């Protein structure tokens, strides 16, 4: 997903003076057709006109998300991608609104854009404690830890390449202990932040924003596209960190 596309949708919403997804797509010149219940949504082009629809079975934010998914297909230019439209000139969505592990980049991008629009950026940053001093400090600690792990890996590969004199092995062991100590400190910091309640979990954020958790996942991806460092918010687990160099 490109940031220009997200910003383009911001501009469209501003120009249309509305945050209602159907209003926005109408403003973009797309024509709504009720798809019934057989699909979650669709978008198609016929004789220069773009038609779209989202099943009325989807309600609330899920419906909004579906409409914006179709809108971002249009805005991203997917309709011109070879093979995106089927023989009848249509793209249908069945299950793609709720699947976070999609492989098709067109579906991922449409979902990232939709989540970005449906969930308010300021609200999510606030829920994550993005500007909270403890969280900012924690993010910095995660960064130095990851840097230390990278340094260790570099030393480790040299040891493997050149054999390992005793002194060097001892230094590596000390290095490992230092990493373990740093990691413990990270965990402590993370615990304090959790107890402080200034940084909600993904599940809590989803509840607050009245959306399913996968929409929060896509929103976090959108925030990354917008240049926010959200990687440090989820606490790295020991396995995840150490499996990288073992």
The binding site for Zn ion (CB under 5 A) comprises: 93, 96, 107
| Nearest to Zn ion of 55, 96 (CB atom) | 96
| Least Å from the CB of residue 95 to Zn ion | 10
| Least Å from the CB of residue 84 to Zn ion | 9
Could you tell me which residues are beta bridge partners of residue 41?
Answer: 54, 93
| Least Å from the CB of residue 107 to Zn ion | 5
| Nearest to Zn ion of 100, 242 (CB atom) | 100
| Nearest to Zn ion of 66, 129 (CB atom) | 66
Q: Strands 90-93 and 49-54, how do they pair? A: unpaired
Placement of tokens 């130095």 in the chain: 144
| Least Å from the CB of residue 27 to Zn ion | 20
| Nearest to Zn ion of 99, 208 (CB atom) | 99
| Nearest to Zn ion of 89, 196 (CB atom) | 89
| Least Å from the CB of residue 104 to Zn ion | 8
| Nearest to Zn ion of 71, 236 (CB atom) | 71
Reading the block at residue 91, the tokens are 């793209």
Burial, 181: exposed, middle or buried (Cβ in 10 Å; 0-12, 13-18, 19+)?
exposed
Question: Residues near 123 by Cβ (< 8 Å), separated by ≥ 6?
Answer: 208, 209
Select the residue whose beta carbon is closest to Zn ion and give its number: 93
Question: Residues near 151 by Cβ (< 8 Å), separated by ≥ 6?
Answer: none
Question: Residues near 88 by Cβ (< 8 Å), separated by ≥ 6?
Answer: 44
8 Å CB contact between 138 and 233 = no
| Least Å from the CB of residue 194 to Zn ion | 36
Count each helix (H run) and each strand (E run) in the chain, helices first.
Answer: 10, 4
Placement of tokens 């926005």 in the chain: 24
């Amino acid at each position: 997903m490109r940031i220009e596309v997200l910003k383009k949708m911001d501009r469209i919403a501003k120009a249309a003076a509305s945050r209602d997804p159907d209003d926005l797509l109408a403003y973009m010149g797309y024509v709504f057709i009720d798809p019934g219940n057989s699909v979650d949504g669709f978008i198609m082009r016929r004789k220069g006109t773009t038609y779209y629809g989202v099943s009325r079975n989807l309600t609330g934010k899920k419906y909004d998300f579906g409409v914006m998914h179709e809108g971002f297909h249009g805005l991203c230019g997917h309709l011109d991608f070879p093979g995106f439209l089927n023989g009848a000139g249509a793209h249908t969505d069945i299950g793609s609104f709720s699947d976070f592990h999609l492989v098709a980049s067109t579906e991922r991008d449409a979902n990232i854009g939709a989540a970005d629009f449906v969930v308010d950026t300021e609200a999510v940053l606030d829920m994550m404690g993005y500007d909270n001093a403890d969280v900012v400090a924690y993010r910095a600690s995660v960064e130095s830890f990851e840097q230390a792990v990278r340094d260790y890996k570099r030393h480790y590969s040299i040891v493997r390449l050149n054999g390992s004199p005793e002194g060097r092995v001892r230094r590596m062991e000390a290095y490992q202990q230092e990493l373990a100590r740093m990691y413990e400190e990270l965990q402590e910091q993370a615990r304090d932040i959790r107890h402080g309640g200034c940084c909600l979990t993904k599940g809590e954020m989803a509840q607050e924003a009245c959306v399913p958790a996968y929409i929060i996942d896509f929103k976090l991806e959108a925030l990354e596209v917008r240049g926010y460092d959200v990687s440090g918010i989820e606490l790295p687990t020991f396995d995840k960190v150490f499996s990288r160099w073992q």
